[in-house]
């Protein structure tokens, strides 16, 4: 009995050794995998395991972002490990993830959080260069503000002018204006300012703003520099070394990005000269359509933390057009105020209108009554009134009203109030 059990154990061990030997044998590997597809090459297990761990780590990071978004934070910094093998170098042949100071953090904004939360999968990403950008002013935590300033108060400026009433810049073509941005005294690293021109008209709002064919041609004197060979269609040009001209591949909008705006010591503003390379009346370009430029302050790519929109008019006579537009606006406001006043008076029973206070007639000087013959009254009255007016030239109306009141009060039979006009019934009789 015991000899039978020993023989069975030996047979099982031999069968197991033959099976594992077949698997380990490189000559029979293909045949083994065909007979048993569940047998996997051990060399492929480690990469799949690493990929699985990376996917789990990414899911954990996304969960962290969702929790931060639910707490109402504006943006969250997430440490994300990146494999240099899969990162493509930029145009300069550099890899931002493998330099001396590699980028190890990603800033997620409100739009990114919405995408991670998956609130609406059919909704497209609405960034600052999308077909439907936001134009509402949003100063943000740094009180972002755009202004246009002159370098000297005594120097005449005939190439541009700004209207605070209309929040509109009037500027000549190919003329620089110093644009100042308030970004705070100590802004964080990684900021950028983007300028996006758009049409402020419903029918052309989604159309990108480009230069007219004449000014965008290669023979134009402003395009002779080889640097502008691939940037001729950009309407805005900035005189700064840290500038990037970008085109959105989806919306085809052109924008200018100013990287790392850092104010100098003792200042909270950062200024750069900008200019516009086409007139507002050029056919094939702006073609008299209203123009607006959206300035956005971004912390990371497309992560908008502040915004301000400014109306622009590119013309050959900025001061003349500014005066005309302000005059037109003033007349419109006067008409609106007049219509509003008439509406209030017409509906005075529906809304309370404060009555005008009656002005009290104060005594200009102390008066003494002198008996005068009726025949001499006119001469004496003229002399007395002229002497009083000569001493108080700024109170002519008050003096005449006061004298009339005294004459009617003390001589009711001679200087009574004017009789009332007869009514319609009395006139018929």
Q: pLDDT of 299-351, one tens digit each?
A: 887 889 999 999 999 999 999 999 999 999 999 999 988 888 777 666 655 45
Detail the DSSP E strand segments found in 236-290: 236-238, 243-247, 254-259, 269-276
Least confident of 137-141, 170-174, 335-339, 345-349: 345-349
Over the stretch 69-87, which tens digit does the pLDDT of each residue have?
555 444 444 444 444 444 4
277-303 average pLDDT score: 92
What does CATH list as the number for 145-316? 2.60.40.720
- What is the C-alpha separation between 2 and 205, in angstroms, rounded? 94
The full set of domain ranges for the chain reads 13-123, 145-316, 361-417
Least confident of 158-162, 282-286, 353-357: 353-357
- Helices and strands: H and E segment counts in the chain: 8, 13
Torsion 271-277-279-280 (CA) sign: negative
Torsion 134-136-137-140 (CA) sign: negative
pLDDT averaged over every residue in the chain = 76
| Confidence (pLDDT) at 49 | 57
pLDDT at 118 over 70: no
Above pLDDT 90, what percent of the chain? 38
- What is the C-alpha separation between 399 and 396, in angstroms, rounded? 5
pLDDT at 47 over 70: no
Over the stretch 222-274, which tens digit does the pLDDT of each residue have?
999 999 999 999 999 999 988 999 999 999 999 999 998 888 888 889 999 99
| Confidence (pLDDT) at 361 | 46
- What is the C-alpha separation between 422 and 160, in angstroms, rounded? 66
Total-model pTM: 0.56
- What is the C-alpha separation between 66 and 54, in angstroms, rounded? 19
In this structure, the number of other CB atoms found within 10 A of the CB of residue 242 comes to 13
- What is the C-alpha separation between 296 and 306, in angstroms, rounded? 6
């Amino acid at each position: 009995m015991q000899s039978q059990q020993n023989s069975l154990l030996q047979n099982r061990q031999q069968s197991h050794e033959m099976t594992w030997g077949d698997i380990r044998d490189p000559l029979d590997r293909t045949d083994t995998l065909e007979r048993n597809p569940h047998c996997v090459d051990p060399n492929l297990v480690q990469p799949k395991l690493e990929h699985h761990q990376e996917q789990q780590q990414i899911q954990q990071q996304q969960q962290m972002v969702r929790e931060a978004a639910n707490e109402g934070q504006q943006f969250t910094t997430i440490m994300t490990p990146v494999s240099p093998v899969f990162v493509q170098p930029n145009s300069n042949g550099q890899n931002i993830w493998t330099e001396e100071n590699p980028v190890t953090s990603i800033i997620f904004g409100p739009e990114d959080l919405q995408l991670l939360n998956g609130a609406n999968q059919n909704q497209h990403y609405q960034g600052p260069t999308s077909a439907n950008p936001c134009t509402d002013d949003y100063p943000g935590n740094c009180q972002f503000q755009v202004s246009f300033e002159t370098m000297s108060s005594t120097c005449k400026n005939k190439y541009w002018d700004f209207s605070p009433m209309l929040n509109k810049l009037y500027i000549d073509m190919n003329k620089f204006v110093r644009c100042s941005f308030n970004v705070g005294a100590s802004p964080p690293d990684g900021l950028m300012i983007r300028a996006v021109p758009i049409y402020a008209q419903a029918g052309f709002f989604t159309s990108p703003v480009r230069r007219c064919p004449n000014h965008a041609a290669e023979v134009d004197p402003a395009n002779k520099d080889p640097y502008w060979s691939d940037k001729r269609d950009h309407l805005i040009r900035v005189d700064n070394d840290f500038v990037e001209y970008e085109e959105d591949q989806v919306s085809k909008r052109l924008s200018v990005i100013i990287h790392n705006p850092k104010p100098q010591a003792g200042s909270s503003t950062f200024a750069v000269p900008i200019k516009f390379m086409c007139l507002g009346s050029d056919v094939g370009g702006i073609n008299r359509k209203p123009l607006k430029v959206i300035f956005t302050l971004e912390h990371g790519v497309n992560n908008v933390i502040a915004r301000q929109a400014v109306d622009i008019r590119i013309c050959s006579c900025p001061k003349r057009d500014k005066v005309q537009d302000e005059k037109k606006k003033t007349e419109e406001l006067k008409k609106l105020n007049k219509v509003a006043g008439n509406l209030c008076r017409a509906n005075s029973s529906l809304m309370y209108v404060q009555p005008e206070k009656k002005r009290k007639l104060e005594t200009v000087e102390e008066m003494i009554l002198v008996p005068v013959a009726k025949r001499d009254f006119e001469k004496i009255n003229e002399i007395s009134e002229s002497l009083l007016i000569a001493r108080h030239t700024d109170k002519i109306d008050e003096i005449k009203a006061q004298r009339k009141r005294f004459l009617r009060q003390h001589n009711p039979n001679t200087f009574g109030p004017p009789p009332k006009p007869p009514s319609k019934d009395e006139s018929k009789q």
